[in-house]
Amino acid sequence: MVTFMNLKVSASDPDCGVNAELAYNLLDQTSKDLPFSVNPKSGEICVSGPLDYEKKSIYQILVTASDTGGLSSTVIVNVQLIDENDNPPKFQPSTYSVSVKSGAVPSGPIVKVYARDEDSGRYGKVSYFIKEGNEDNLFRIDKEKGDIFLTRGPSRSQQSTYRLKISANDSYNLASEQYAEVTVHIVSPQSQAPVFQKPKYTFTLSEDASEQSSVGTVSANGNY
């Protein structure tokens, strides 16, 4: 959504009588990307189609003024859209999974969530909050970066799996429509991370491959 103030162009003709009557027109009236029209008599420019700041924020319109004698002139009209806070943050991705060894010493982040807000400037600034699943207060989140940290060393005797629900809010408190879901598995200190069978995989794919076509298979071995 954008804010748009109606504009009006005007021209004068020193001729007298019929030759002084003017008509206004857009130079490119067939453009499908131009959501504006001009009143041929008054020169008032109005919105005639949908506007979206995120898709296009600046328009340049060419308006002609013609008299009945066949003479005309052209003026350039620049239209700058003003962004509105019409897009909530969206998580990309919306699900996360991480394993943490019991007794681990809190240090760096265990996982990072990310939400994108398509609005610009102050409307697009995102803050993160843990809304559910942190009953033991085992986790904290950096509100600005989305990094999730341990507050203390976890114990498998408490709980083996935590499912956190994270909300993303913009600076005007417009919240994400869906929570991000972060699953944290508390595993044994002896557990080993999965190891891929190869350090690098290379696949070839035809450019006319259809959706859901197999690209290749990766394989890893895990030991919990």
> What pLDDT does residue 31 have?
61
* Residue environment code for 36-47, b if the CB has 16+ CB neighbours within 10 A, otherwise e: bbbeeeebebee
> What pLDDT does residue 132 have?
96
Task: Check: pTM over 0.85? Answer yes or no.
Answer: no
Contact in structure between 85 and 79 (CB atoms under 8 Å): no
Count Cα atoms within 13 angstroms, Cβ side, for 60: 3
Mean pLDDT computed over every residue of the chain: 85
> What pLDDT does residue 124 have?
84
Q: Where are the domains of the chain?
A: 2-83, 90-190
Q: In what order do the strands lie in the sheet with 7-8?
A: 7-8, 44-47, 36-38
Would the CATH topology of 2-83 be identical to that of 90-190? yes
Mean pLDDT over residues 6-28, rounded?
A: 63
H or E stretch covering 158 = none
Q: How far is CA 17 from CA 21, 62, 73, 146, in A?
A: 7, 27, 19, 70
Only one residue has tokens 């919240």, namely: 175
pLDDT tens, residue by residue, 87-145 = 899 999 999 999 999 888 899 999 999 999 988 878 889 999 999 999 899 999 999 99
Hey, what are 154's tokens? 């976890």
What is the 3-state composition of the chain as percent helix, strand, coil, each rounded to the nearest 5?
5, 40, 55
pLDDT band at 152 (very low <50, low <70, confident <90, very high): very high
Per cent of the chain over pLDDT 70 is 87
- Give residue 173's region: left, alpha or beta (phi > 0; psi -120 to 50): left
Provide CATH code, domain 2-83. 2.60.40.60
Backbone angles phi, psi at 124, to 5 degrees: -95, 5
**For 90-190, which CATH superfamily applies?**
Cadherins (2.60.40.60)
> What pLDDT does residue 96 have?
97
CA distance 132 to 162: 10
> What pLDDT does residue 67 have?
85
pLDDT tens, residue by residue, 175-195 = 999 999 999 999 888 877 788
